Structure 1
């Protein structure tokens, strides 16, 4: 089976301001499970970059390990990319950004990649206010290792093995607000009308832009009562003893107005309770954002939309006063300014 997209496209596809069709923003065909919310997020990234007329070769995609970290293969195939080790994507993103500030940086991670092994990296990339878009595709489980609970799984939910999760879930959006992230948003993978504008706003933001996206796992998150559950697979496997069977499911979508709630029916019949922020919400009030997230959590809701934004803080390059030139364009003249410059530096250290 080939995972390459066909080369043919309709000759009259619409183009953006720089003359590109959406084809130039696509990647390889996805190998994720049919109906996976991660593919919806990839499609939203494609749509946002296409509408903003960003040249694909001006984008750098970085990821760690997990189902979510496979997705950069499925969007912006003509951009730069680096798949790092588990939880260490922020370090690679920091190094790449410091070497060349002229690219648009997408960091793609998962709830395991960011909320567990990569938590320390997640904390410090926020602290440094690195100029990047950091997207967490949050499904509450480890899909590549057959569905164990991640750190964002709900307390009291059951894993695929039947064990009950005794721990409180880590709320990444609340944590990002608490740590001082300068842009914090939350969305649902099936709400394209909300997610695409949030990604565009994150790209435009000068500093660290975090988007936590609830993304249903159609195969392994079969936790009864979980907000990210999918119970059908486990029951079906027990009935047929076919341990590798993955049923094909349709993508879950949601459309609802600002300031309203909606119940999204998951593949197993359970519900996800979403609440979209009203248009008059003030995203510049950090305390209000933190309180709103906690109140929503207490009511069993997932608050979506732009939660918090702050444009007053300096991004990392401004803090460090680095050169505006990409490091690979610096010549010997800039790198070796002579003995007089060295003497001046040494004098400043005495």
Structure 2
């Protein structure tokens, strides 16, 4: 129900293994307070055993013919906003959404067991299951193919000592005035990205092939990659650069809840200018994130590991994370990409540096 408390929609975090220490949502074992602080209710960690945000939510209002059309087009009605004042989803709402999500839609996929356009039948055997490619999965695949074969990707990496950031997060979480915001590493990284984009605006630009123009955006619609049961989606936070750290944390939490419940709106899935993907919640150190077209950059956030590190001339246990930045080399030169990544790393290494950008 729509009146359900917000807390019910937060994803349950799975335990993350760090060496011999396992830290879960309920506590810690043999770890410091800063270790617990780096665990984040990230939208990318959505597919787990926890119940959805609203398991008893109302079915979207529509007529039987419209529901049948949505089924044929592989469209989830929960993702569609009604255009009329009545709140009833109409045929043109479904067709418009399907056109936006999958411009090159193939023939509609009938119900399971019915023949497809080429005569094939969806089926499950003892050894395999064949599932029609449709809906969010089809739209995501099309977007990723366009990205991989249109934009020349370059990825660079940076290891950062984020011990001061994890201490900051632990302190903020201990503050009763900020308890409801649940600030984590993803929110701090989002803030660092917004600040770094001021110095390197090319990372927030896009390539308009039809107009033959480079579009430099003077705002940040920050996409947060979210893995859902329907597939990967990247809803974005409009004008993220105008938000404070607590507001960013709230916006990320709300995106997670919305994506988890299958209620991401078409507006939230378009118009992004830069994205973050948090594969660190799966225990992965680094990767080569693929761009979310037509954006020029995407930052991958790895897992935080406590490991020996050179600090002030000695070896000490520090919290280390690897940042992975992929960018479109048509829009961003290597020097610009390196400076952007270094700026994000500087903020995470010394959060006080954010004062220089304010």
User: TM-score interval w.r.t. the shorter chain?
Assistant: under 0.3
* TM-score of the aligned structures, taking structure 2 as reference length: 0.21
* TM-score of the aligned structures, taking structure 1 as reference length: 0.21
Q: Which has the higher contact order (CA 8 A, sep 6+)?
A: 2
